[in-house]
Amino acid sequence: MTRLTSELIRSIKDDLVFYDSEILRKTGFSLRQLACRAAGVGEAEAHKSLAKSLVGVVPVTSGEGMIEGFCEAVANIVSHLGATSFITGSSDIAGLAEAIERAAGVVFLADDDRFIALNLFSRSVVDNSEATAKGYVAALEALTGGLKDRPVLVLGAGQVGGRVLDALRESGARASVFDPDPKKIRGLGTGTGIAVEDDLESALNKHSFLVDASPAAGVIRERHIKPDTFIAAPGLPLGLCPGALVRVGDRLIHDPLQIGVATMLILAVMGGEKKGKICGG
């Protein structure tokens, strides 16, 4: 997973209401509605389940250690969507034990390699990469009015980019992918319906719908932004140069955590519901 910085997430708590209003203005859907669309569940059903859900966020110290403000940001997003959240006082295994002892139904944990939501009742795991991909494809669908039979370019075929390609196939889009690492795209063009682009400049020039799932900064330049360009950008850092960012304006969806965490939560909570359990109930 891309390692966040405390600077990127410091203001999430204070900005959630404004963020929600901006997502609604751009897409016609609130953050919770967008996450429900990504998860394929109804908002009314999800609202009832969230109100009954107790979610624990466990600090993890392995690898490079905890990112200041990360657990607080996750907990605030969870609460904003309508669940009850808490951050465990202990970290790592002791923190997981504490979450279980406090009767959490869903637990969020992240280390250097994975960020997951674990439903303790259904024993199901939701990975941030999958949830982020689903969430951003849903956002691009809402932003553009639909993706069926429309060409979409994915930049980056890593953990998130690969899942984005899966989500785009499900949406009926005509997906293309560019990645400078041939190992990541080997075999993608065989029997998958995915077109593999071997030149970034050419690929950007002929596509108006983009999903930037690459860790490369500034690769999307001002000249690549057309009046009908729409971009969903889960990648960090943002792949647009300052001029491109200005030119694309409101036709961009990008955030450090919100869409991914919201979709993780809905998938985790509703996964428990589908197995007949109510998280935290």
| pLDDT tens-digit map of 138-195 | 999 999 999 999 999 999 999 999 999 999 999 999 999 999 998 888 877 666 789 9
Asked if 58 and 123 sit in the same domain, the reply is yes
CATH number at residue 146: 3.40.50.720
- What's the confidence (pLDDT) of residue 275? 46
- What's the confidence (pLDDT) of residue 184? 87
CATH number at residue 55: 3.40.50.12150
- What's the confidence (pLDDT) of residue 189? 63
Does 61 fall in a domain? yes
Q: How far apart are CA 251 and CA 263, in angstroms?
A: 21
237-242 own/partner pairs: CB under 8 Å, 24+ apart: 238/212, 239/155, 239/212, 239/214, 240/212
Whether 114 has a pLDDT exceeding 80, the answer reads yes
**Looking at residues 211-240, what average pLDDT do you find?**
96
Does 267 fall in a domain? yes
Whether 245 has a pLDDT exceeding 90, the answer reads yes
Asked if 112 and 10 sit in the same domain, the reply is yes
Number of domains in the chain: 2
Q: What is the dihedral of CA 116, 44, 76, 39, to 10 degrees?
A: 30
- What's the confidence (pLDDT) of residue 66? 86
- What's the confidence (pLDDT) of residue 280? 42
Q: How confident is the model at residue 3 (pLDDT cuts 50, 70, 90)?
A: low
- What's the confidence (pLDDT) of residue 63? 85
**Looking at residues 86-98, what average pLDDT do you find?**
98
Does 164 fall in a domain? yes
- What's the confidence (pLDDT) of residue 230? 98
To which residue do tokens 């428990």 refer? 272
- What's the confidence (pLDDT) of residue 96? 97
Asked if 242 and 262 sit in the same domain, the reply is no
Does 201 fall in a domain? yes
Residue 236 structure tokens: 């960090």
Asked if 121 and 137 sit in the same domain, the reply is no
Does 21 fall in a domain? yes
**Looking at residues 199-211, what average pLDDT do you find?**
97
- What's the confidence (pLDDT) of residue 164? 97
Question: What range defines the domain where residue 157 resides?
Answer: 132-253
The closest of 121, 122, 135, 115 to 60, measured between CA atoms, is 115
Note whether 56 and 99 are within 8 A (CB): yes
Does 1 fall in a domain? no
Whether 272 has a pLDDT exceeding 90, the answer reads no
Helix axes 31-39, 258-274, angle to 10 degrees: 50
Asked if 38 and 68 sit in the same domain, the reply is yes
- What's the confidence (pLDDT) of residue 35? 98
Which residue has better confidence, 178 or 64? 178
pLDDT tens digits along 8-60: 898 998 999 999 999 999 999 999 999 999 999 999 999 999 999 999 999 99
Note whether 64 and 164 are within 8 A (CB): no
Asked if 264 and 243 sit in the same domain, the reply is no
Asked if 126 and 136 sit in the same domain, the reply is no
Which residue has better confidence, 86 or 5? 86
φ and ψ of 201, to 5 deg: -60, -45
Q: Is the dihedral of CA 217, 230, 116, 193 positive or negative?
A: negative
pTM for the predicted model, two decimal places:
0.94
The closest of 224, 227, 251 to 155, measured between CA atoms, is 224
Which residue has better confidence, 67 or 86? 86
- What's the confidence (pLDDT) of residue 183? 87
Does 97 fall in a domain? yes
> Buried b / exposed e across 4-35, counting CB within 10 Å, b at 16+?
beeebbeebeeebeebbeebeebbebbbbbbb
Asked if 174 and 93 sit in the same domain, the reply is no
Does 280 fall in a domain? no
